């Protein structure tokens, strides 16, 4: 109804003010009734070309995994909008959810585009969303013919790994192969120790695991299990590790840790949440409930 009220058959290009008002109104509706976002894919397909970007902008103002998935679903459907979609996807922060492979695959397809601007935008979005599976194709893009793609790929690898090897293609390649070897031959045993070991064995395993930066969500899942322990020192170490890994996968467990009686554990959990979310959160903030969801 809002779309029909905003469009006119005799006005092929509505004024910018009208389109901006439509975006604001649609975003307000989605904030009040989050379930209404399920209508967005159909609305996108039915929108006049002039309003397509407005629909994208309204969805991009919504928080949560579903909005991310819908933006990825829009990719490739309407000419001229992909650049905007990729830019907005790159502003959404690290993503994890049931649809993550769909979202990540949609972005990786753009690594093969002929337009370097779209490739660079897809590379940046993949890194910001936390697609560790993109590391290998990103290393291949380090030797792309276009400087924008090369620069974006270097930056994406740094974002994903926390490392800064600059333009050293050989070093990035060596690091990736070493990481994959560790995951294939040693990671399972070390993560089991994080989940089950205590005392010095737990500390040694934690130190080794924290030397690795590929598949941080999986690493964080093991440390998150340690948050329920009775040993305060082991919980503190888990909180510090999770703050260093900065994986959103640990947020629900850290929010639970805020209910612990020990003020040191609550403070450590809050510090980790701040590191992960980038927000100056207070322990009783409504933001915590939002992030936990």
Tens digit of pLDDT for each residue in 89-124? 999 877 765 556 889 999 999 999 999 999 999 999
Residue 181 has pLDDT above 60, yes or no: yes
Angstrom CA distances, 28 to 45, 81, 109, 184, 190, stand at: 21, 22, 32, 47, 47
pLDDT digit string (tens) for 220-276?
A: 999 999 999 999 999 999 999 999 998 888 999 999 999 999 999 999 999 999 998
Model-level pTM? Answer: 0.81
Residue 4 has pLDDT above 60, yes or no: no
d(CA 85, CA 106): 11
d(CA 187, CA 26): 46
- Assign 229 to helix, strand or coil: coil
Q: If pLDDT is split at 50, 70 and 90, which confidence band does 289 have?
A: low
Q: What are phi and psi of 80, to 5 degrees?
A: 90, -5
pLDDT at 100: 66
Q: Give me 119's structure tokens.
A: 């490739």
Describe the crossing of helices 49-60 and 16-32 by its angle, rounded to 10 degrees: 40
Look at residues 239, 244, 245, 242 and name the one whose alpha carbon lies nearest to residue 268: 239
Query: In this prediction, what percent of the chain has a pLDDT beyond 70?
Result: 86
pLDDT digit string (tens) for 9-58?
A: 555 556 667 778 878 888 898 888 888 888 888 777 666 666 788 889 99
Residue 5, class by beta-carbon neighbours within 10 Å (0-12 exposed, 13-18 middle, 19+ buried)?
exposed
pLDDT at 9: 54
Give the mean model confidence (pLDDT) for residues 195-216: 94
Residue 195 has pLDDT above 60, yes or no: yes
Average pLDDT of the chain, as a whole number: 87
In the numeric block, the tokens 């992909």 are attached to 82
pLDDT digit string (tens) for 50-98?
A: 678 888 999 999 888 889 999 999 998 888 899 999 999 999 877 765 5
């Amino acid at each position: 109804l809002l779309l029909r009220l905003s469009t006119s058959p005799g006005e092929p290009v509505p004024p910018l003010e009208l389109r901006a008002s439509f975006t604001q109104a649609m975003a307000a509706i989605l904030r009040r009734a989050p379930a209404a976002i399920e209508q967005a894919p159909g609305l996108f397909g039915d929108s006049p070309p002039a309003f397509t970007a407005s629909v994208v902008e309204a969805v991009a103002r919504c928080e949560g995994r579903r909005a991310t998935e819908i933006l990825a679903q829009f990719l490739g459907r309407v000419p001229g909008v992909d650049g905007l979609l990729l830019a907005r996807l790159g502003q959404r922060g690290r993503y994890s959810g049931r649809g993550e492979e769909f979202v990540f695959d949609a972005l990786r397809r753009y690594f093969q585009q002929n337009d370097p601007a779209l490739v660079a935008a897809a590379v940046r979005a993949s890194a910001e969303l936390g697609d560790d599976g993109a590391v290998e194709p990103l290393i291949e893009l380090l030797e792309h013919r276009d400087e924008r793609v090369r620069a974006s790929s270097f930056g994406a690898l740094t974002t994903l790994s926390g490392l800064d090897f600059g333009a050293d293609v050989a070093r990035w390649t060596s690091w990736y192969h070493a990481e994959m070897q560790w995951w294939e031959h040693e990671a399972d045993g070390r993560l089991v120790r994080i989940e089950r070991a205590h005392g010095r064995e737990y500390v040694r395993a934690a130190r080794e695991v924290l030397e690795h930066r590929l598949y941080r969500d999986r690493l964080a899942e093991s440390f998150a299990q340690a948050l329920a322990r009775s040993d305060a020192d082991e919980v503190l170490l888990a909180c510090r590790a999770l703050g260093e890994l900065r994986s959103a996968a640990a947020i629900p467990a850290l929010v639970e840790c805020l209910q612990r009686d020990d003020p040191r554990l609550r403070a450590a959990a809050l510090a980790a949440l701040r590191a992960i979310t980038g927000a100056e959160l207070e322990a009783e903030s409504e933001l915590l409930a939002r992030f936990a969801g």
